[in-house]
Amino acid sequence: MAFKKSFKDIISETTIDDIEEPDATKYINLLKDKIVIDQFPLKIKIIITSEFATPIAFDRIESHYSHPAKVVLTQNNLSKFYDDLIDKFKAWVDQFQERGSGFDFNSIKSVQVKLYKYEYQKSFVLYSLQFKSKILSTLQNKNDNKCFLWSILAYLYPVVKTNKE
């Protein structure tokens, strides 16, 4: 089941289209200065709209690259995120051009940046007192590495005492 984002989870959504740079690496390095992040941890989703052109017929098309949403825990992780973005975008452009359509990468037209709240996932299981006592009595008799399995089995299949005991 997929996790759906609600509008309250979005911190900001920005479209940046005022950078004039034909080289993708330089464009993304200039993009770093435009994205303002003041809250950590967060999830970043980037969608790059790029333009491809044919050298002969002067046809132009737009294509969208959607970078997977990544969790950035601290300011230090941002450089790794941008390096990963550059590598994956260049691989996507190469794959697009290898399809044989005749279109070559021309430039990046715009970048849409979405910042989402990120909360750590926590888990805690509260056991009943009856279950804990069964775990302790069961674990004392076993000499293998399946303690958790034995404790679950002891809880699911309790020993029924009869009058003979």
> Is the peptide bond preceding residue 22 cis, with omega within 30 degrees of 0?
no
Question: Which amino acid does the sequence have at 16?
Answer: I
> If pLDDT is split at 50, 70 and 90, which confidence band does 141 have?
low
Hey, what domains does the chain have and what are their CATH numbers? 8-117 (3.30.1490), 124-158 (no CATH)
Segment of 4-13, 27-36, 153-162 carrying the highest mean pLDDT: 27-36
Q: At what angle do helices 24-34 and 77-98 cross, to 10 degrees?
A: 140
Within 13 A of 10's CA, how many CA atoms are on the CB side?
A: 10
> If pLDDT is split at 50, 70 and 90, which confidence band does 1 have?
very low
Contact 127, 32 (CB under 8 A): no
* pLDDT for residue 162 is more than 70: no
Instruction: Supply the pLDDT for residue 85.
Output: 93
Instruction: Supply the pLDDT for residue 47.
Output: 93
* Residue 65 or 155, more confident: 65
Contact 17, 43 (CB under 8 A): no
Percent of residues, the chain, with pLDDT higher than 90: 21
Mean pLDDT, rounded, of the chain? 80
pLDDT tens, position by position, 39-71: 888 899 999 999 999 888 788 999 999 999 898
Segment of 9-23, 58-72, 120-134, 146-160 carrying the highest mean pLDDT: 58-72
- Overall average pLDDT of the 74-93 stretch: 90
* pLDDT for residue 164 is more than 50: yes
